[in-house]
Amino acid sequence: MFHSILVPIDVEHESTYAPVLPVAIKLAQDHGAVLHLLAVVQPVGSAFVSSFFPEDFELKLSEQVKSKLAQVATESDFGGIEPVLHLAQGSIYEEILLAASSLSVDLIVIAAGRPEQGSFLLGSNAAQVVRHADASVLVVRNQPS
């Protein structure tokens, strides 16, 4: 019985979250679980690198990711479930693990990775989540085309 489900969403790659959402939604419906969606914004990096970007670059990026996440939540069919949206900034897998722990989720549903990275069995963030999460992790594999 799952009470709280976390779906990390890479808003840039619909091909990763499109196959995952129906699985997570069905599980949330069947278990009466809360469904959390999380998008992580990665910082630009070093002060030297960020000096090449406009000052408000990170703020604008966060706003764009937030609005894209809201779009995903409104455009997908959640079958009556109201997802709880979260935005975090930092290392992707670390923020997924932190959110999973602070939200006390008991299941993380994650894509194996981008289909175009086909030769890799598991993306680098998905691998770290599987390795380190306290919660159960369901890895949704890309369907062969």
Stretch that binds ligand ADP, among 4-12, 21-29, 46-54, 130-138 (CB under 6 A): 4-12
Beta strands 4-8 and 34-41, pairing class: parallel
Structure tokens at 79: 């079958």
**Nearer CB in complex with ligand ADP: 25/38:** 38
Shortest Cβ 92–ligand ADP spacing (Å)? 5
Kindly tell me which residue out of 2, 4, 5, 16 binds ligand ADP, with binding defined by CB under 6 A: 16
Q: Is 107 in the site for ligand ADP (CB under 6 A)?
A: no
Complex with ligand ADP: residue 33 or 92, whichever CB lies closer: 92
Relative to beta strand 4-8, strand 107-111 is parallel
* Closest residue to ligand ADP: CB criterion: 123
Interface with ligand ADP, residue 126, by CB under 6 A: yes
Per CB under 6 A, contacts with ligand ADP among 43-82 are: none
Q: Which is nearer to ligand ADP, 1 or 142 (CB)?
A: 142
Question: CB under 6 A: which stretch of 22-30, 37-45, 52-60, 73-81 binds ligand ADP?
Answer: 37-45
Transcribe 76-142 into DSSP letters. S--TT--PEEEEEES-HHHHHHHHHHHTT-SEEEEESS-GGGTT-SS-HHHHHHHHH-SSEEEEEPP
123 is a site residue for ligand ADP (CB under 6 A): yes
Phi, psi angles (nearest 5°) of residue 84: -100, 125
CA atoms in the 13 A half-sphere facing the CB of 121 = 2
